[in-house]
Structure 1
């Protein structure tokens, strides 16, 4: 243990298993500190699995003069593409010109977007005529000119899990279905009470706490810590609901669309899971319980209306095959409209240093694309507060499965992913091509862990559901903390979209009949 004190169980407790919490736990563990991560539900159970699935600079933030945030996000886009080329991939976005903003302004914005940070992996923006471009075939023929630019797509829930996996590999203790119910400063440390999955309680002592509870950051300060700062913290967070719908695929190509709607909002239409189109998002002020957030009928109608306005074929609520909503904990910058609220973050440290009090670091705000940088800055502050000397490291490290051509992130992992996948298909020629393709994208090089000791379909075990074999279930339960049908069908995979009604119940019955056997027990 790196702690100077010998009467603590670990150096750092991270509360919250979303992207920020998992990223921080990974960075802290990699610097040699002893860290535990607790999440009351599943990893990425809330906001971090309810995004628009983009790793992007945030083109629209330029309009609000957030040049620093966009530059930081664009730089991170390149870092993350190289670190996790299996779950993050380049994508082109087609933005029809509708007259909401002048063509000259859009050209200037895209020129700046291409140059605010070094861009080596993605092609530059361009202007196209939709009548001569494949993306124009699916659109309203009244649309003529469009601008095309580059960003990245991400499997958001898997990105969270990969950070947790790496944290565990580096010594972190990852505790899912474990809530932090109380924390009090005592003798220069934090005395923390954890409620375990079986409902029993355990107390541990830690040197520092990171509050990465997202929409519950203020509630954690208030209920768990009983601190007067909680009321003030609530004024720093603005909860905004973002909802998405999924419909059958609306177009044949692999580019996405960005629509600048007449009400000033931005709506994306993104190719999703081979057979579907993801449409979102809304930006609606939210005052309820973040755990109970759900899309409402007005949001569904709104997103269908936007899609119908731009596509040749209308989209109606009956076309929606799946929907989801999440609450984004954004910094309250006094913006009049929810869609204009900044996506930047703020880190607040209480205690540590000359005060002698055990440090508490709270994360406010943030966005998926900048999570690694946020984690790096958080860990820098923690190391300073704890008197631990260790430098940043994550910018030069692959995430689990991303080391296609070696341990160091490389551009060729992004540019040559299809070639790597083809070689994997040859290696495991006995697997169905579609299945091996899904495994390659979901697990990257960790496909070799999943398939270790298997050389035929007979070795995969039973096919519990179409395309879901016992081998994968065993891997997900042993290595990725998956416990329930929802964990497996909607967060670790998206098989829930492809399976018939009743699949979750069938999987639940199988899980009950096949309890996970833990070595040594």
Structure 2
């Protein structure tokens, strides 16, 4: 790597907004460097509720513009990555003293019609008696409402955007900290430092994107000085995972007496994911952790609805993320963090070489956010290339060709059947996991393999060398945590010692590549 490299755009931050902007910009012919101090998506972007949704509850705060924008993106995203996304039906048991039936009906009517709905079914009201969604619930719940949104593997969404950015020419540098960035007369001068070697190098960029998430306000203050127009409100959201509370494919939206709503969703086959909380946060965004009060809050709400009761000792895993929410004028008077807008604001600064700071946002609107960001940046950098991501698929998403068609989502099972015919030697659970993770790119993972033995050593149950090699070489996996909790969710299924074995394999692989081991 050269001592100093030149680029058009330096993106600081490897969460979903940063990789989305890098991908869009690289696809328009701009020279892009992206740096992230940790693993890609290691923080907020892999600690979400894993939903692609319009945000039904945002209608209560009259955020019609945000909901419309998110609903438009919802089905577009579902079609762009049908392997890591899928439609999900939500059931809302009716509680008369929470929200009235007419209010819920009105909200769902609006939710169905704020944006075109090509293939997701409309909302409905139904009786719970005898219905599959009613069986796990306490008998006092007799009626419910249902509506559709989408589910996404959030961490893989980040990775696939980064892969696409790299394949379009971007230099993606995880575990690379931006030590110092200085505004010169006609460019930004940044010193980046690799975590693994502590080696530093300089980058000269014509424009800078601050996509640092919870650290965005601090970075903006460091590079542009005080006086930013918008502030961020840091809110911690926590989730718990417990043994499965129901055995069907629907999710639940549970209403709490405090006015909040919490999701309970099928997760990784054997589990239920419950979340999220909304807690004001003033700690270190590097290491947020669920509090005992949050765990109890989520358990007690689940127990209010489900026959099967849970307690904190039933929690098999939990995760927390710090969401950088946009503090707007209306929100300053709201005491509850849940009421703060999930919309985003792109803070533009042309007092020298361009600076764009990304404030706020949510996973569902990341593509639109990136498009708006590059629409502003590209002309300043001499690019006239048009926006392109709305009509594109993410790596592996071209199950039925390059066009992002609804059938890629609705006919995923048919594609998996064809995959299993091509590779009859693959055990069915492994074939499905590969299909969900890699889509069409499963053929790259399986290249040269004609039997289970060809996948190499089974480093951990269900995790073979062929997949590990692909994750290390193509998806920047550098340790067991990257593999077990972000590139896959195998951490929920494997024995505690699996992480040690994976780390040892990755270390041996690195040593072999550098020639330390022949």
Contact 1:134 1:253 in 2 (8 A): yes
Deviates more, 1:333-342 or 1:138-147: 333-342
| Separation of aligned partners in 1, 2:356 and 2:87 | 34
Residues 2-54 of structure 1 deviation map (CA, whole Å, 9 limit, x = unaligned): xxxxx961100111000000100000000000101100000000000000000
Other-structure match for 2:252: 257
What SS does structure 1 have at the residue aligned with 2:253? Answer: strand
Contact 2:235 2:324 in 1 (8 A): yes
| Separation of aligned partners in 2, 1:305 and 1:441 | 32
| Separation of aligned partners in 2, 1:131 and 1:121 | 27
Where in structure 2 are the equivalents of 1:206-221 lying within 5 Å?
A: 206-221=205-220
Contact 2:50 2:154 in 1 (8 A): yes
Gaps of 5+ in 2: none
Name which of 354, 374, 380 aligns with 2:375: 380
Check if 1:278 corresponds to 2:273.
yes
Contact 2:220 2:228 in 1 (8 A): no
Other-structure match for 1:87: 84
What SS does structure 1 have at the residue aligned with 2:133? Answer: helix
Contact 1:8 1:207 in 2 (8 A): no
Other-structure match for 1:294: 289
- How many residue pairs align between the two structures? 507
What SS does structure 2 have at the residue aligned with 1:381? Answer: helix
Name which of 153, 160, 168 aligns with 2:166: 168
| Separation of aligned partners in 2, 1:232 and 1:207 | 21
Other-structure match for 1:408: 403
Name which of 38, 45, 57 aligns with 1:41: 38
Residues 433-490 of structure 1 deviation map (CA, whole Å, 9 limit, x = unaligned): 1001000000000001111111111210000000000000000001000001000000
Offset of 1:513 from its aligned partner?
Answer: 2.5
Residues 253-296 of structure 1 deviation map (CA, whole Å, 9 limit, x = unaligned): 01000011111111100000010000000000001111121001
What SS does structure 2 have at the residue aligned with 1:160? Answer: helix
Other-structure match for 1:57: 54
**Structure 1: which 4+ aligned runs deviate by more than 6 Å?**
none
Other-structure match for 1:504: 499
What SS does structure 2 have at the residue aligned with 1:339? Answer: helix
Name which of 115, 118, 122 aligns with 2:116: 118
Name which of 438, 444, 460 aligns with 1:449: 444
Contact 1:40 1:179 in 2 (8 A): yes
Gaps of 5+ in 1: 1-6
Other-structure match for 2:349: 350
| Separation of aligned partners in 2, 1:466 and 1:65 | 49
Other-structure match for 1:27: 24
Name which of 316, 323, 337 aligns with 1:321: 316
Where in structure 2 are the equivalents of 1:68-87 lying within 5 Å?
A: 68-87=65-84
Check if 1:67 corresponds to 2:87.
no
Residues 319-360 of structure 1 deviation map (CA, whole Å, 9 limit, x = unaligned): 000000000000012132100100000001111xxx5x2111
Where in structure 2 are the equivalents of 1:299-318 lying within 5 Å?
A: 299-318=294-313
Output the aligned Cα RMSD. Answer: 1.5
| Separation of aligned partners in 1, 2:448 and 2:507 | 26
Offset of 1:517 from its aligned partner?
Answer: 5.5
Contact 2:238 2:318 in 1 (8 A): yes
| Separation of aligned partners in 2, 1:76 and 1:387 | 28
Offset of 1:387 from its aligned partner?
Answer: 3.1
Name which of 340, 362, 365 aligns with 1:367: 362
What SS does structure 2 have at the residue aligned with 1:453? Answer: coil
Offset of 1:509 from its aligned partner?
Answer: 2.1
TM-score normalised per structure 2? 0.96
Other-structure match for 1:396: 391
Contact 1:477 1:516 in 2 (8 A): no
What SS does structure 1 have at the residue aligned with 2:129? Answer: helix
Other-structure match for 2:231: 236
Check if 1:434 corresponds to 2:429.
yes
TM-score normalised per structure 1? 0.95
